[in-house]
């Protein structure tokens, strides 16, 4: 299950999305995530068409991208159940204190879609952008905040390290779990409380490993005389190309259509 998490991992491929400026992909991801909270009802068809087009352009196997949803299946299931049974409205079915309403079905379906699209949209960006480029993009977009003494470079570096540690910690947890299973540990049987208790032998060495890696990283950065973003330069400075301008036009046109549809339908 741990290896199914694709968020934070990079998938190398030769696609248009991989060659785009990381700032374009970061802005596009933010606008897409915002659009998911703007649309309602049939407006999700526009989001679906845009997301499918982007996934096809990325040349990342659809099966590889979708398997990351298995890790949040429980979250999606809980969200659906809560919206299905706890939303007031026109009753479609009832049994004792349980009832399913028309509004509950509507909310359950679109909340599940919203969660799925959130994960897929964020995964497209991380799968097509290396952590170093993502750091440079965040730092570049937030650079105006340097004028008010905001440590933009340090913030971008922390976010990049956090993203990079996701696949590393997942792999480490998988190794620990397999080692515990080889020693007779059982993580599948029993009730919820027993399964939670069974995770303790995994979490303790995982935290120890994470702190050790963080300490090694800090020592490596100190040995290389890293002292923050002041006076630092980039080996490969970010530079917009014609395809980046076209991508910006497409993204803002998509967001403009979402806003126009919202205003026309009075959502």
DSSP 91-141: EEEEETTEEEEHHHHHHHHHHHHHHHHHHHHHHHHHHHS-HHHHHHHHHHH
What phi and psi, each to the nearest 5 degrees, are found at residue 91?
-75, 125
pLDDT, residue 196, reads 72
Most confident of 3-12, 83-92, 214-223: 214-223
Give tens-digit pLDDT for 22-51.
999 999 999 999 999 888 878 889 999 999
Pair (91, 202) in one structural domain: no
Spell out the residues 6+ positions from residue 2 whose beta carbon is closer than 8 angstroms to its own: 71, 170, 173, 174, 177
pLDDT, residue 244, reads 95
* pLDDT of residue 171 exceeding 70: yes
Q: Helices 22-36 and 242-265 meet at what angle, rounded to 10?
A: 10
Pair (87, 109) in one structural domain: yes
Pair (160, 88) in one structural domain: no
Contact yes or no for 58/15 (Cβ under 8 A): yes
Largest CA distance in the chain: 68
How far apart are the C-alpha atoms of 48 and 68, rounded to whole Å?
18
Mean pLDDT, residues 132-154: 86
How far apart are the C-alpha atoms of 15 and 52, rounded to whole Å?
15
* pLDDT of residue 14 exceeding 80: yes
* pLDDT of residue 215 exceeding 80: yes
What phi and psi, each to the nearest 5 degrees, are found at residue 20?
-70, 155
Pair (30, 121) in one structural domain: yes
pLDDT, residue 242, reads 93
pLDDT, residue 24, reads 96
- Least trusted range by pLDDT, from 18-22, 59-63, 71-75, 102-106: 71-75
The burial class, CB within 10 Å (0-12 / 13-18 / 19+), for 36 is buried
Output the pTM of the full model.
Answer: 0.78
Pair (75, 115) in one structural domain: yes
Domain count, the chain: 2
Pair (90, 220) in one structural domain: no
Pair (92, 214) in one structural domain: no
Rg (CA), the chain: 22
Contact yes or no for 173/4 (Cβ under 8 A): no
* pLDDT of residue 5 exceeding 90: no
Residue holding tokens 């479609």? 92
- Least trusted range by pLDDT, from 198-202, 203-207, 209-213, 254-258: 198-202
Q: Whole-angstrom distance between the N-terminal and C-terminal Cα of the chain?
A: 38
Pair (14, 123) in one structural domain: yes
Mean pLDDT, residues 1-17: 73
- Least trusted range by pLDDT, from 74-88, 224-238, 247-261: 224-238
pLDDT, residue 258, reads 92
Q: What share of the chain is helix, strand, coil (3-state, %, to 5)?
A: 75, 5, 25
Pair (113, 140) in one structural domain: no
Pair (121, 5) in one structural domain: yes
Whole-number mean pLDDT of the chain? 84
Mean pLDDT, residues 182-197: 73
Pair (104, 137) in one structural domain: no
Pair (5, 114) in one structural domain: yes
Output the six-digit token pair for 214: 């963080």
What is the number of residues in the chain? Answer: 267
How far apart are the C-alpha atoms of 247 and 251, rounded to whole Å?
6
pLDDT, residue 243, reads 94
**Structural domain for 192, as ranges:** 130-236
């Amino acid at each position: 299950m741990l290896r199914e998490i694709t968020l934070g991992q990079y998938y190398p491929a030769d696609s248009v999305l991989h060659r785009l400026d990381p700032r374009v992909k970061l802005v596009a991801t933010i606008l897409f995530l915002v659009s998911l909270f703007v649309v309602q009802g049939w407006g999700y068809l526009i989001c679906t068409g845009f997301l499918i087009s982007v996934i096809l352009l990325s040349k990342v196997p659809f099966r590889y991208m979708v398997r990351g949803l298995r890790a949040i299946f429980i979250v999606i299931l809980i969200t659906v159940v809560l919206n299905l049974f706890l939303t007031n409205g026109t009753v479609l079915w009832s049994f004792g204190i349980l009832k399913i309403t028309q509004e509950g079905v509507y909310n359950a379906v679109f909340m599940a879609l919203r969660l799925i699209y959130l994960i897929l949209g964020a995964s497209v960006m991380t799968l097509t952008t290396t952590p170093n480029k993502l750091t440079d993009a965040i730092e570049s977009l937030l650079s105006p905040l340097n004028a008010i003494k905001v440590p933009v470079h340090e913030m971008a570096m922390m976010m990049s390290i956090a993203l990079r540690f996701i696949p590393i910690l997942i792999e480490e947890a998988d190794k620990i779990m397999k080692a515990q299973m080889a020693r007779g540990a059982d993580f599948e049987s029993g009730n919820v409380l027993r399964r939670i208790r069974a995770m303790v032998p995994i979490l303790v060495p995982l935290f120890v490993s994470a702190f050790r890696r963080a300490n090694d990283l800090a020592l490596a950065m100190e040995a290389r005389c890293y002292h923050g973003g002041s006076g630092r330069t980039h080996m490969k400075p970010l530079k917009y190309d014609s395809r980046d301008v076209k991508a910006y036009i497409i993204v803002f046109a998509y967001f403009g259509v979402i806003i126009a549809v919202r205003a026309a339908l009075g959502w």
